[in-house]
């Protein structure tokens, strides 16, 4: 086809498409007739247009076929020239044929007159234009005088950075050469399989010319849809492939804009029906959230449109497209009124009525991409229910964004090499694979790479891309190629070498080779030494920043901060605050503060990073995800768990824009979310998040992949917290098995899992197994290079805690001392971790009975913390709490109470009243009041503990069992045995549901249940419980553990009370043997156990053996510096009783009197506890014939009874009998009769009148009266 014919064909195609947008074109007549034959709608009228260069080209057979087809209603022929043909012969025989036409306008006018065409054209216009006008309006917004609203998103502040990057992209794309062939290939690939669209592509290939670009843009085809979607979603690949068409539309609008400006100018004195109006309108529906964020709360701010924007000067028409205001659930009816200042020519716009698909129908005004408007007002019309937004076309831009844009434009855009500019832009936007693609394309450009600097430039930038993609070896290879190329032409100290040396250093740093990295940084700095201007350049700032990263990795946080500050001071002078390099420095400073545990400062700088990103990066840039993640991590550390979850979920949402939802990187974010849930005690949610991570990783990774091990480890920790011990151990073991495949590189991970297993055994109460795994952890950490002192000290602390649980206080002290020694070497004198060590050592010393040293350590801890912390610090509260515990063990109960109260008042100032730490403190209060004998207070604090647990934990949480158990013991001590039994059973039932069957806490509950049963004389149940407790403790505890002697002792008492003396004797002896093996012997307890054994012998009549035991007990008491005098008193009384049975009355009396002396010191003179000793002494005196002394003892007992007991108490009758008998033995009948009558009067008040005891009393009184009468008569007779 000739060029003239091609132009005419394009013009005819355009004209016919305006008449019918759905025109079907065929270059093959057979295909055309096949299409006609298969049209389903019988009533459809088909008009066939045949076009050719000359009428001579018309085929008789084709015309005949058309004439014979019943489906074709009319045939119009068009040709460039009139020839001699058989056309007249065919025309004379049919009414279908029209033409031939040689003028396109004549043909079009003829077609437009057809009623069918008129009707269909009107219908298509209405439907199509509604669809077009309701298309999504992709906008970015900014705020100057922004309305305060809680719903506005931070990304709406000022012009969004997306606009800046979009403008860069448009500018670059418009400069890159392209061909029609490239866009056609792309479109065919996108429309593969869609015959209708492929036909339109064929039309495009045959008929498209640049001056018809706007027509093709307004035509309802795949091209319009693909382009708008690509502009809306910033689909860079599609926009790159469509740049040929984008440039033509933009240039046509630009040409029309200036033509119409001239025609509208008063100076030209011309008018045109296509003149530019002063105001245009656009009506549409907007999503509620988009409307609120971009428009409603953005008055005075900017609105930028990233796509081409279609408007009309017809307000009534635009109002129709705005809708009727009824669809407000998800969208708003919006009418934009846009004032056009014709002095603003930054963004071309034009009246496209004459060249669009619909000509003059709507007087359409089309704006090019990137137009900026200022929002003047936002008002709601209550009658039409339409929001009216007044905009003004403006050339203004946000000042901060404009400054940043100039910096970035200078860095990114190179007018000589637009492909290089595009590649740089892709790197800035985080589109690394796209950037790689463009750089590789540039390598194929022989002209470009013939310049060695360009060649080196490409390799250097490819290296940077591979660094971002974590492909370290490829990065290093490309950096080295860049160096090799430059060194062929330049010296090592040339400034061009600096950036590459820095990049090589970065690659080494990220691989952990810090020494090599520092060497490269030094080389890089050396290249700038001779250039004075470069000494304050951003490149120098970058190197200082990178050196700081090394210090950070080496835990030299102060030096890292110093390097970052150097970088910041340089960059602050030459870069805008929202420049990406400034963000990098802010980010690194934040990380340093994070490592220094200054989470407030870390959050401050991460927030600066986010603020800058919101003003300088595309809204979905992957760097947002990293910052969200960092903010989540700091919130996590601050205990702001809900905020941490929110940040992590935003990070995940950002990542899902770049990756499929089952991509391995997604698993990392599920892992982070799971960790927050784990730390916040939401174990079910934690397990769900970890399980999602596991599902992804098991799908993509080999069974030996280390990321699987991480997930198994985290699930193990979660199951441990849920007390799912078997599942937890299984997960930990899976993790270890994976890491064992690469033992050399996974030492740290293995250590962490061993540490997790140790904590699992701690929760199981298997402290010997805990110590085993803590030792394994410690061994690995001590052999790691470099040593992680923070971890090692934490492990020593855990080891000390495990020994404390086993009452191995010496071993605990040694572990805590090791932790302190390390901290003293690596930390400042007044570091808070040293205070923590002193606190631990104080607890160990207290356990060893070395309370003076314990107090000294606590004084040191307190001295440090008072310097570092405010008086309301929780750490101070913990130290006061430990002080209280030490004083408690010294039995300085008032001092202990004072310290506990100090601890309590601090916590009350800074923590919510239901904070978990109050539970431990209330537990201490309860123990203290228990020791003071205040059982009501004891129970009160235990119930306070329980109330907090009820508020914080689900009903079946394991922690309840411990509190139930303690309440059981409290009620037992109050002799409320029924309540005690109920609490103990509640504890046991819960423990059996959530704990392993051999958990040490279950043994404790069985033991306590047994004590209650013994008190209730249910010896069989008591013995069964104690035997179960013993079975568990023997499995879980070392053979010399104090809990074992306690269990044997309780069993011995139960066996003795059941008169199973053989088992009782064996149990007492085992208890004694275990106690004698203790490093810190409790003499009072051993003496008490000998007392118990003596009773076994005593009840069997083995008095000698009983006396031997009691004498051993006394001997042990003598060794004790501060013996338990209550137990000593019991020992004296029991020994006195045994000696009495051997008729060693003097010795017996001595023992009873010693016991009484102790009791008298412990109690007031009228205390009821003195009675047993006085009664025993009285009895021996009676046997020895010391009746007066015996009576003196009885008088003291009677005095105590009068002060302590009600008048009719049965004990009075007993004492009256004893008085009667003693006075009778002294033949003091008058006194004997007095007490006999006292007994009778007492019995008379409490017994029935026919009780046999009253008869006995009467007989006794009668006999004594007779004897007294007889004695008086005899004395009278003597007189």
* Helical (H) or strand (E) element with 432: helix 432-443
Half-sphere exposure of 890 (CA within 13 A, CB side): 20
Q: What's the mean pLDDT in 995-1008?
A: 87
Among 28-42, 279-293, 664-678, the least confident range: 28-42
Q: In the predicted model, is pLDDT for residue 152 greater than 50?
A: no
Structure tokens at 716: 């193990």
Q: Which of 34, 91, 33 is nearest to 60 (CA)?
A: 91
What's the pLDDT tens digit per position in 262-292?
876 655 555 455 668 889 999 988 888 778 8
pLDDT of residue 173: 82
Four-CA torsion 140, 146, 150, 151, nearest 10 degrees: -20
Q: What's the mean pLDDT in 521-538?
A: 71
pLDDT of residue 1246: 84
CA pair distance 618, 658, nearest whole angstrom: 13
Q: In the predicted model, is pLDDT for residue 123 greater than 70?
A: no
pLDDT of residue 91: 56
Q: In the predicted model, is pLDDT for residue 1151 greater than 90?
A: yes
Q: How many CB atoms lie within 10 A of CB 13?
A: 22
Q: What letter would DSSP give residue 1170? A: G
pLDDT of residue 1145: 92
Residue 363, CA distances (Å) to 135, 335, 355 in order: 18, 17, 11
What's the pLDDT tens digit per position in 1023-1051?
999 999 999 999 888 888 888 999 999 99
In which band, very low, low, confident or very high, does the pLDDT at 448 lie, cut at 50, 70 and 90? confident
CATH 1.10.3720.10, domain 1082-1204, yes or no: no
Angle at the Cα of 36 from the Cα atoms of 35 and 42, rounded to 5 degrees: 130
Q: In the predicted model, is pLDDT for residue 814 greater than 90?
A: yes
Angle, in degrees to the nearest 10, between helices 418-428 and 432-443:
160
Four-CA torsion 155, 158, 162, 166, nearest 10 degrees: 160
Q: What's the mean pLDDT in 163-184?
A: 82
Q: How many CB atoms lie within 10 A of CB 847?
A: 21
Can you spell out the DSSP letters for 122-147?
A: HHHHHHHHHHHHTS---EEE--SSPP
Name every residue whose Cβ is closer than 8 Å to that of residue 1131 and which is 6 or more positions away in sequence: 1087, 1090, 1091, 1110, 1113, 1114, 1117, 1155
Q: What's the mean pLDDT in 491-507?
A: 86
Q: In the predicted model, is pLDDT for residue 131 greater than 60?
A: no
Q: What letter would DSSP give residue 827? A: S
Q: What's the mean pLDDT in 775-797?
A: 89
Pick the more confident residue, 1067 or 199.
1067
Peptide bond into 17 cis (omega under 30): no
Among 16-20, 674-678, 973-977, 1205-1209, the least confident range: 16-20
Question: Is-contact 798 758, C-beta < 8 A?
Answer: yes
Structure tokens at 598: 């200054």
Among 382-386, 873-877, 950-954, 1060-1064, the least confident range: 950-954
CATH of domain 129-397: 3.90.176.10
Q: Which residues of 410-448 are buried (b: 16+ CB within 10 A; e: fewer)?
A: ebbbeeebbbbbbbbbbbbbbbbebbbbbbeebeeeeeb
Q: In the predicted model, is pLDDT for residue 142 greater than 50?
A: no
- CA 647 to chain CA mean position, Å: 8
- CA 193 to chain CA mean position, Å: 47
What's the pLDDT tens digit per position in 402-419?
665 666 667 777 767 788
Pick the more confident residue, 659 or 485.
485
CA pair distance 230, 215, nearest whole angstrom: 19
CA pair distance 579, 1233, nearest whole angstrom: 112
Residue position matching structure tokens 């599609």: 238
CATH of domain 968-1071: 1.25.40.10
pLDDT of residue 5: 61
Delimit the domains of the chain by residue range.
Answer: 3-113, 129-397, 827-952, 968-1071, 1082-1204
Name every residue whose Cβ is closer than 8 Å to that of residue 1242 and which is 6 or more positions away in sequence: 1207, 1208, 1212, 1213, 1216
Q: In the predicted model, is pLDDT for residue 149 greater than 50?
A: no
Angle at the Cα of 686 from the Cα atoms of 680 and 687, rounded to 5 degrees: 150
Angle at the Cα of 120 from the Cα atoms of 114 and 126, rounded to 5 degrees: 135
Fold classified for 827-952 = 1.25.40
Helix (H, G, I), strand (E, B) or coil at 276: coil
Q: In the predicted model, is pLDDT for residue 137 greater than 90?
A: no
Q: In the predicted model, is pLDDT for residue 148 greater than 60?
A: no
Model's pTM, two decimal places?
A: 0.49
Instruction: Give me the helices (H) in 1120-1209, please.
Output: 1125-1141, 1145-1162, 1171-1183, 1187-1204
Residue 1258, CA distances (Å) to 249, 799, 1227, 1241, 1262 in order: 133, 75, 19, 10, 6
Q: Which of 771, 766, 732 is nearest to 752 (CA)?
A: 732
pLDDT of residue 128: 38
Pick the more confident residue, 211 or 732.
732
CATH fold match for the domains 827-952 and 1082-1204: yes
Structure tokens at 943: 């119930």
Residues paired with residue 49 on neighbouring β-strands, in sequence order: 76
What's the pLDDT tens digit per position in 723-764?
788 899 999 999 999 888 877 777 888 888 999 999 888 887
Residues in the chain: 1279
pLDDT of residue 706: 80
Can you spell out the DSSP letters for 654-671?
A: HHTTTS-TT-HHHHHHHH
Q: In the predicted model, is pLDDT for residue 790 greater than 70?
A: yes
Q: What's the mean pLDDT in 1197-1216?
A: 89
Question: Is-contact 330 236, C-beta < 8 A?
Answer: no
% pLDDT > 90, the chain: 28
Q: Which of 141, 616, 153 is nearest to 372 (CA)?
A: 141
Q: In the predicted model, is pLDDT for residue 930 greater than 70?
A: yes
Q: Which of 482, 449, 478 is nearest to 466 (CA)?
A: 478
Residue 319, CA distances (Å) to 456, 1070, 1093 in order: 58, 98, 103
Q: What's the mean pLDDT in 581-603?
A: 87
Question: Is-contact 1231 1206, C-beta < 8 A?
Answer: no
Mean pLDDT of the chain: 83
CA pair distance 1109, 1071, nearest whole angstrom: 14
């Amino acid at each position: 086809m000739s060029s003239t014919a091609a132009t005419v064909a394009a013009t005819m195609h355009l004209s016919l498409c305006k008449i019918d947008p759905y025109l079907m074109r065929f270059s093959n007549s057979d295909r055309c007739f096949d299409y006609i034959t298969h049209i389903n709608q019988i009533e459809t009228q088909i008009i066939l247009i045949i076009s050719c260069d000359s009428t001579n080209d018309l085929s008789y057979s084709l015309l005949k076929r058309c004439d014979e087809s019943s489906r074709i209603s009319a045939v119009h022929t068009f040709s460039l020239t009139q020839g001699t043909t058989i056309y007249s012969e065919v025309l004379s025989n049919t009414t279908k044929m029209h033409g031939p036409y040689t003028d396109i306008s004549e043909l079009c006018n003829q077609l437009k007159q057809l009623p069918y065409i008129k009707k269909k054209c009107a219908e298509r216009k209405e439907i199509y234009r509604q669809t077009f006008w309701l298309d999504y309006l992709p906008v970015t917004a900014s705020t100057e005088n922004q309305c305060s609203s809680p719903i506005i998103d931070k990304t709406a502040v000022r012009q969004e950075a997306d606009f800046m990057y979009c403008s860069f992209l448009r500018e670059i794309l418009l400069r890159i050469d392209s061909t029609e062939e490239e866009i056609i290939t792309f479109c065919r690939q996108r429309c593969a399989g869609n015959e209708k669209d492929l036909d339109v592509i064929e039309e495009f290939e045959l008929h498209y010319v640049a001056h018809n670009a706007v027509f093709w843009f307004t035509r309802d085809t795949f091209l319009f849809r693909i382009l708008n979607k690509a502009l809306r979603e910033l689909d860079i690949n599609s926009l790159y492939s469509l740049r040929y068409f984008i440039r033509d539309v933009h240039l046509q609008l630009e040409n029309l804009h200036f033509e119409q400006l001239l025609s509208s100018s008063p100076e030209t004195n011309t008018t045109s029906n296509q003149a530019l109006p002063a105001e245009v309108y656009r009506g549409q529906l907007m999503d509620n959230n988009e409307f609120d964020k971009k428009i409603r709360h953005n008055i005075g701010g900017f609105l930028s449109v990233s796509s081409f924007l279609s408007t009309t000067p017809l307000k009534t028409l635009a109002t129709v497209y705005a809708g009727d205001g009824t669809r407000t659930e998800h969208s708003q009816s919006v009418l934009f009124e846009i004032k056009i200042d014709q002095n603003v020519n930054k963004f071309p716009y034009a009246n496209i009525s004459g060249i669009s698909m619909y000509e003059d129908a709507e007087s359409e005004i089309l704006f090019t991409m990137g137009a900026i408007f200022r929002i003047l007002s936002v008002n709601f019309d209550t009658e039409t229910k339409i929001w009216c937004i007044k905009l003004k076309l403006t050339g203004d831009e946000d000042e901060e964004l404009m400054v940043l844009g100039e910096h970035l434009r200078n860095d990114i855009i190179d007018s000589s090499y637009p492909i290089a500019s595009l590649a740089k832009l892709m790197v800035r936007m985080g589109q690394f694979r796209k950037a790689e693609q463009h750089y590789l394309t540039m390598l194929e450009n022989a002209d470009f790479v013939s310049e060695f600097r360009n060649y080196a430039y490409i390799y250097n930038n490819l290296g940077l891309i591979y660094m971002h993609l974590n492909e370290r070896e490829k990065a290093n290879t490309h950096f080295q190629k860049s160096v090799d190329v430059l060194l062929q032409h330049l010296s090592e100290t040339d400034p061009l070498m600096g950036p590459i040396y820095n990049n090589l250093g970065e690659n080494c740093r990220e691989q952990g080779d810090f020494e090599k990295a520092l060497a490269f940084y030094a080389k890089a700095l050396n290249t700038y030494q001779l250039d004075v201007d470069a000494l304050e350049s951003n490149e120098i700032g970058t190197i200082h920043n990178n050196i700081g990263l090394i210090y950070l990795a080496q835990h030299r946080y102060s030096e890292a901060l110093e390097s970052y500050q150097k970088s910041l001071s340089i960059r602050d002078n030459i870069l805008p605050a929202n420049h990406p390099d400034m963000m990098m420095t802010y980010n690194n400073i934040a990380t340093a503060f994070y490592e220094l545990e200054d989470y407030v400062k870390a959050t401050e700088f991460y927030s600066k990073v986010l603020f800058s990103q919101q003003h300088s990066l595309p809204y979905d840039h992957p760097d947002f995800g990293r910052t969200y993640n960092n903010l989540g991590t700091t919130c996590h550390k601050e205990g702001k768990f809900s905020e941490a979850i929110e940040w992590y979920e935003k990070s995940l949402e950002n990542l899902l824009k770049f990756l499929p939802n089952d991509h391995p990187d997604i698993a990392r974010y599920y892992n982070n979310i799971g960790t927050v849930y784990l730390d916040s005690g939401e174990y079910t949610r934690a397990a769900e998040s970890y399980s999602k991570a596991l599902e992804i990783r098991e799908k993509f990774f080999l069974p030996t992949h280390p990321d699987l091990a991480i997930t198994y480890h985290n699930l193990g920790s979660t199951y441990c917290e849920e007390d799912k011990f078997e599942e937890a151990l299984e997960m930990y073991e899976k993790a270890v098995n994976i890491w064992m495949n690469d033992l050399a590189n996974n030492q740290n991970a293995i250590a962490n899992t061993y540490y997790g297993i140790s904590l699992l055994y701690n929760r199981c109460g298997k402290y010997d197994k805990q110590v085993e795994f803590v030792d394994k952890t410690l061994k690995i950490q001590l052999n790691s290079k470099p040593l992680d002192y923070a971890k090692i000290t934490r492990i020593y602390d855990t080891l000390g805690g495990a020994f404390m649980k086993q009452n191995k206080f010496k071993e605990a002290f040694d572990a805590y001392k090791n932790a302190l020694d390390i901290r003293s070497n690596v930390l400042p004198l007044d570091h808070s971790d040293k205070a923590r060590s002193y606190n631990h050592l104080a607890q160990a010393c207290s356990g060893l009975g070395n309370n003076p040293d314990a107090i000294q350590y606590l004084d040191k801890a307190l001295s440090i913390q008072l310097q570092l912390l405010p008086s309301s610090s929780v750490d101070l509260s913990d130290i006061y709490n430990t002080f209280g515990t030490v004083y408690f063990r010294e039995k300085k109960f008032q001092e202990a109470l004072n310290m506990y109260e100090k601890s309590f008042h601090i916590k009350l100032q800074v923590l919510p009243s239901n904070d978990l730490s109050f539970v431990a403190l209330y537990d201490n209060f309860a123990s203290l009041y228990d020791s003071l004998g205040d059982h009501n207070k004891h129970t009160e604090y235990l119930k306070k503990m329980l109330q907090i647990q009820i508020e914080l934990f689900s009903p079946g949480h394991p922690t309840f069992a411990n509190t139930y158990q303690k309440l059981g013991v409290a009620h037992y001590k109050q002799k409320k045995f029924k309540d005690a039994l109920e609490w103990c059973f509640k504890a046991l039932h819960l423990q059996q549901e959530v704990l392993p069957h051999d958990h040490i806490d279950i043994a404790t509950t069985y033991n306590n249940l047994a004590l209650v049963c013994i008190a209730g004389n249910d010896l069989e149940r008591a013995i069964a419980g104690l035997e179960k407790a013993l079975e568990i403790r023997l499995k879980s505890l070392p053979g010399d553990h104090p809990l074992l002697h306690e269990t044997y002792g309780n069993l011995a008492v139960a066996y003795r009370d059941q008169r199973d003396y053989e088992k009782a004797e064996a149990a007492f002896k085992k208890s004694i043997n275990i106690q004698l093996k203790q490093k810190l012997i409790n003499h009072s307890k051993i003496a008490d156990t000998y007392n118990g054994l003596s009773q076994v012998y005593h009840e069997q009549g083995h008095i000698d053996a009983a006396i031997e035991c009691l004498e051993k007990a006394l001997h042990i008491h003598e060794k004790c510096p501060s013996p338990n005098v209550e137990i000593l008193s019991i020992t004296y009384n029991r020994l006195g009783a045994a000696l009495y049975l051997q008729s060693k009355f003097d010795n017996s009396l001595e023992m009873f009197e010693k016991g009484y002396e102790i009791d008298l010191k412990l109690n007031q003179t009228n205390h009821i506890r003195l009675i047993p000793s006085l009664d025993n002494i009285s009895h021996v005196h009676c046997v020895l014939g010391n009746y007066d002394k015996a009576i003196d003892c009885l008088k003291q007992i009677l005095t105590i009874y009068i002060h302590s007991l009600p008048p009719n108490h049965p004990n009075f009758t007993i004492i009256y009998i004893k008085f009667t008998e003693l006075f009778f033995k002294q033949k003091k009948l008058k006194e004997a009769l007095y007490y006999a009558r006292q007994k009778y009067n007492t019995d008379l008040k409490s017994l029935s009148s026919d009780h046999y005891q009253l008869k006995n009393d009467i007989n006794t009184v009668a006999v004594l009266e007779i004897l007294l009468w007889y004695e008086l008569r005899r004395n009278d007779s003597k007189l």
